[in-house]
Amino acid sequence: MTTTDPTASFGGKPLKGQDPRVRPALVEGENETFSTVTEAVARVSEVPVKETNKAWLIGFGVSVTLLGVLGLMLLHLITTGVGVWGNNNPVYWGWPIVNFVFWVGIGHAGTLISAVLFLTRQNWRTGVNRAAEAMTIFAVICAGLFPGVHIGRIWVAYWLFPLPNQMNMWPNFRSPLLWDVFAVSTYASVSLLFWYMGMIPDLATLRDRAINTPRKIAYGIFAMGWTGSSRHWHRYERAYLLLAALAAPLVFSVHSVVSFDFAVSQVPGWHTTIFPPYFVAGAIFSGFAMVLTLMVPARQFFGLKHIITMKHIDVMCRILMATGMMVGYAYMIEFFMAWYGGVQYETFAFVNRAFGNYWWAYWIMVSCNVIFPQIFWSKKMRANLWVVMLVSITTNIGMWFERFVITVTSLSRDFVPSSWGYFSPTYVDMLMFLGSFGLFFTLFLLFLRFLPTVAIAEVKTVMPQAHAHGDHGHGKDGHVDADPTSYGTAGGGGSVAPASKQDA
């Protein structure tokens, strides 16, 4: 075999002299070995506190400040009441529900990258799946915050539980709001297990490399006695595959259930069957945008550009463009069905979205979600990280406005003109939304600093050295050079998967 060119692009034709049966290397660099990958990822967590990256410290300081603002606003809300929000009659669902749907949507890309792409054998996922999974967990935490306080008197929230009581109160199991509770809690549980399961071999790596007792004990507890034996790998692979199979349907079911909060009602602009696939496409769209927003600076500041490569950025930009077109198609179908159905209330609802009091929100949504991502048809734009960051940020701005347009414009103009109103957010609405970003980034930055950002064991399985019978420029006669630091305690507790890991 000839040497694999690590600069070849995904999905492209094989370069001259390259064996078409061998895919391009996903870890760039001529001298990359198992031990160098371990060192690159583990050193981020092993840096002494005094030597922490200044960019991380600045980001963490801003995030903690916003988190403090969130805490103050929650205290003010609980002690004063939900009247401090801008919610009114008829817009009884304001920013809290908009923010809930926004954060749940962001959490979808993690499971898609981890579970669905794992089941379809897309090896490029190995560079970004760990961070995407963490993003999922933290986004769902932010999402759950808003309906939790939206109920009002949270100290009697237990009245909502299906518990026998003297008042004969019982949850309505036919309500989509209750379906939401089951769907989101199931999604959070499975995603957390999937994230933690994938980290076990890498936590063992950090445990064996730890130079002080507290770190060794902390990582050792969560590594659960992992030794890297063949029996451990066999059981790990079976459990990981099972969790992936459980998580994959949740990618499509969770946001479909969230869409039922709107679709099963009679409110014009909500009562439509396109909402489930429309919401799922939008969730994947916003989730991939957030992954790009997080990973582009992370690869720069933590020296991971050879693991999270431009190939990964390129593929995610293509997915962003494709899902953006799906969302744009849904926007057009909504208008078509409103016209084709001949229901005057539906027609008015959609005309009001585009040309009514909230016209500015609608056109911001269309510009950010449909027009701007089309720039990724150009390969040069996909290779420009400034453009990638700009488009990914504007995409999530557009997706927030999409949720705002769906929720607020439909409620502000209902069947009876005498009850029409206008929604204006208060400072509490705005500061709580900003504070939710503080919560999200505080958790994510702590993850980047103290846990393995990249799935070390999985990245090694897609390196040329993992294919012992191929000539990848390592060793003679097609055999890999022995690297004693890649195995055993020095390399990380046997964190290198056996050859069968490729086929798990």
329 falls within a domain: yes
Single-letter amino acid code for the residue at 208: D
- In terms of phi and psi (left: phi > 0; alpha: psi -120 to 50; beta: otherwise), the region of 29 is left
CA distance 17 to 372: 38
Segment 350-373 shows an average pLDDT of 91
The CATH number covering residue 418 comes to 1.20.1630.10
Q: Does the structure show a pLDDT above 50 at 87? A: yes
At residue 388, the pLDDT reads: 93
Average pLDDT over residues 490-497: 45
Residue 81 domain boundaries: 56-155+172-453
Residue 64 lies in a domain: yes
**pLDDT for 267 beyond 90:** no
Compute the mean pLDDT over every residue in the chain, rounded to the nearest whole number. Answer: 81
Residue with tokens 């607020």: 408
Q: What is the mean pLDDT of residues 81-96?
A: 84
pLDDT at residue 451 above 50? yes
Confidence category of residue 478, pLDDT binned at 50, 70, 90:
very low
Does a structural domain hold residue 493?
no
- Residue 500 counted as domain residue: no
Asked if 458 contacts 237 with a C-beta cutoff of 8 angstroms, the reply is no
Q: Is the peptide bond before 90 cis (omega within 30 degrees of 0)?
A: yes
479 pLDDT above the threshold of 50: no
Distance CA 223, CA 236 (A): 12
In this predicted structure, the answer to whether residue 301 has a pLDDT above a threshold of 90 is no
In whole angstroms, what is the distance from residue 471 CA to residue 453 CA?
Answer: 30
Residue 466 confidence (pLDDT):
64
Identify whether 10 is part of a domain.
Answer: no
Question: Hunting for tokens 């799935």 — which residue is that?
Answer: 455
How far apart (Å, rounded) are the C-alpha atoms in residues 233 and 228?
Answer: 6
Least confident of 169-173, 175-179, 258-262, 316-320: 169-173
Spatial separation of the C-alpha atoms in residues 346 and 504, rounded to whole Å: 50
Name the percent of the chain lying above pLDDT 90. 27
Asked whether residue 230 is domain-assigned, the answer is: yes
379 within some domain:
yes
Q: Which residue has the tokens 């995610």?
A: 316
Give the side-chain half-sphere CA count within 13 A for 40.
Answer: 27
Residue 41 belongs to some domain of the structure: no
Angle at 46 between CA 41 and CA 48, to 5 degrees: 140
Global pTM reads 0.83
Average pLDDT over every residue of 422-429 = 88
The whole-number average pLDDT for the span 4-28 is 48
* Mean pLDDT in residue range 230-252: 89
Number of compact structural domains in the chain: 1
Minimal CA–CA distance to 53: which of 306, 303, 290?
A: 303
* Rg of the chain over all Cα atoms, to the nearest angstrom: 25
Q: What is the mean pLDDT of residues 70-99?
A: 88
Q: Considering only CA atoms, which of 232, 266, 287 is closest in space to residue 115?
A: 287
Q: Which two tokens stand for residue 460?
A: 């090694």
Residue 353's SS3 state is helix
Helix (H) or strand (E) holding 46: helix 34-46
Mean pLDDT of 433-450: 93
Structure tokens at 214: 């507290």
**How high is the pLDDT of residue 24?**
54
**Cα–Cα nearest to 353, from 454, 290, 268:** 268
Q: At residue 299, does pLDDT exceed 80? A: yes
